[in-house]
Amino acid sequence: MIGPDAYLCTAYPVEDEEYYIYKFEALANAATAHHMLLYGCDGEPLSTESIWDCPGMCKNGWSTIMFAWAKNAPPTVLHKGVALRVGKNTSIKTIVLQVHYAKIFKDSEPTDHSGLKIYTTFQKPQFVAGIFLLASYWFQIPPQVSSYCSISCRYQLYFPKREKYIPLCI
């Protein structure tokens, strides 16, 4: 039996070839799986088990989030000519799928088969996508404001073709 919250992981090595990921399709239902995260590791997974209880994903501790799914979201398809590069000659040698279950499973219930279908090609795309994760573990938005930006998180992005700065608030 799984407790009230469980995080289960499974890993797939991708170090043998260079792969280009262009589509992610969740094989899950929000009634069973609360959310799923796909991580990239620069080495081995934390466990050699086929499925393990995981707060940690990668053996050396370094990981990057590559994809997230929740609430029965539809498949994510990158634009034509764009893909994520993983595997040989990249920093991602293993991908780890973490599934968060937010309910108790009884032994009498059918086995869950939540997962992620990852569409890949060996053909190098015109553009290689990257992940720029913006996150804060603690922030507070004041009440009754139409917008808010903490002064400690303000950036200015310059776009030369438009000759202007775009404020980016994290």
Looking at residue 52, which CATH number applies to its domain? 2.60.120.310
Q: Domain tally for the chain?
A: 1
In a domain, 159, yes or no: no
Residue type at 161 in one-letter notation: K
Residue 54 pLDDT exceeds 80: yes
DSSP the chain: -B-SSEEEEEEEE-TTSEEEEEEEEEE--TTT-SEEEEEEESS-BS--SSSEE-S--BTTS-EEEEEEEETTPPPEEPPTTEEEEEETTSS--EEEEEEEE-SPBPTTSPPP--EEEEEEESSPPSEEE-------S---PPTT-S----GGGEEEEEETTTTEEEEEE-
pLDDT bucket at 126, cuts 50 / 70 / 90: very high
Residue with the bigger pLDDT between 142 and 59: it is 59
Phi, psi torsion values for 117, nearest 5 degrees: -95, 120
Domain of 67? 6-129
Residue 118 pLDDT exceeds 90: yes
In a domain, 139, yes or no: no
What are the pLDDT digits (tens) for 136-160? 556 677 788 877 666 555 555 555 5
Residue with the bigger pLDDT between 108 and 126: it is 126
Q: How would you label 49-58 residue by residue, b for 16+ Cβ within 10 Å and e otherwise?
A: eeebebebbb
Residue 60 pLDDT exceeds 80: yes
In a domain, 102, yes or no: yes
Task: Please give the pLDDT value at position 123.
Answer: 97
Annotated binding site: 34-35, 100
In a domain, 29, yes or no: yes
Give the Cα separation of 16 and 95 in Å (integer): 13
Task: Please give the pLDDT value at position 114.
Answer: 94
pLDDT bucket at 162, cuts 50 / 70 / 90: low
What are the pLDDT digits (tens) for 17-36? 999 999 999 999 999 999 99
Residue 47 pLDDT exceeds 80: yes
Residue 2 pLDDT exceeds 70: no
Q: Tokens at residue 161, please? A: 């073709």
Annotated binding site for Cu(2+): 34-35, 100
